[in-house]
Structures are given as C-alpha cells and as structure tokens.
C-alpha cells in the first residue's frame, strides 16, 4: 500500500534531488518495481535489470598497490610544496600598502 503519491511529485523530486540524487532514484525505482509487480510482467524486470551489473576492477598485485600508493603520496606532496612555493613567492613580491600620514 502506498499512502500518497506525493513522493513522485515533480517539486518533491526536485527538492530531494538537491539533497541527494540517490533518494530520488530510489523513489522512481520503487515505482517502476511496483508497476512491474502489479502487471506481473517478468520480462520488464529482466530488460530493466540488464544494465545494472557491477563491473569490478581487476585485483592489483601487492607491488602495484604499493607503487600506486607511493605515487599518490608523491603527487600530494608535490602539490603541497607547489602551493607553499606560490604562497612564499607571492608574499615576497607583495608591496606594502602606503600608510596615511597622521595629521599634525
């Protein structure tokens, strides 16, 4: 039993879409499943579920994992050093603002 159809209202879907996309998709998928179940059409379920298979990544060897981990740390460290150098250079080339002379 569905208490109200407001969960499929366009304005409600738009508001929920701003929060998280997953909730909106869950509501729409629930309605599709309820429609398929009510007409007892198993062919519709098999057609819709064809594209939902998960494609897994190939497992990495221990050496590959270490290499990617070190590469990740190196890139992060280089980015941090780059930001530090840019900050240092901008601070060194910054000209001080002239102060107004106090009125005598």
> In terms of Cα–Cα distance, which of 24, 26, 45, 25 is closest to 35?
45
Rounded distance between C-alpha atoms, residue 34 and residue 40, angstroms: 10
User: Cα separation of 44 and 28, whole Å?
Assistant: 15
Q: Is the pTM of this model over 0.75?
A: no
Q: pLDDT at position 65, please?
A: 95
Contact 16, 27 (CB under 8 A): yes
pLDDT one-digit tens code per residue, 45-98:
666 655 556 677 888 899 999 999 999 999 999 999 999 999 999 999 988 888
**Contact (Cβ atoms closer than 8 angstroms) between residue 12 and residue 6:** yes
Which pLDDT does position 23 carry in this prediction? 56
Write down the domain spans for the chain: 8-52, 60-93
């Amino acid at each position: 039993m569905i208490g109200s159809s407001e969960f499929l209202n366009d304005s409600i879907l738009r508001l929920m879409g701003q929060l998280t996309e997953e909730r909106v998709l869950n509501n729409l998928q629930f309605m599709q499943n309820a429609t398929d179940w009510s007409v007892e059409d198993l062919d519709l379920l098999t057609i819709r579920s064809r594209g939902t298979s998960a494609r897994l990544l190939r497992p990495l060897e221990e050496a590959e994992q270490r290499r990617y981990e070190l590469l990740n740390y190196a890139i992060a460290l280089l980015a941090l050093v780059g930001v530090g150098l840019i900050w240092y250079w901008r601070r060194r080339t910054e000209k001080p603002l002239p102060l107004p002379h106090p009125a005598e």
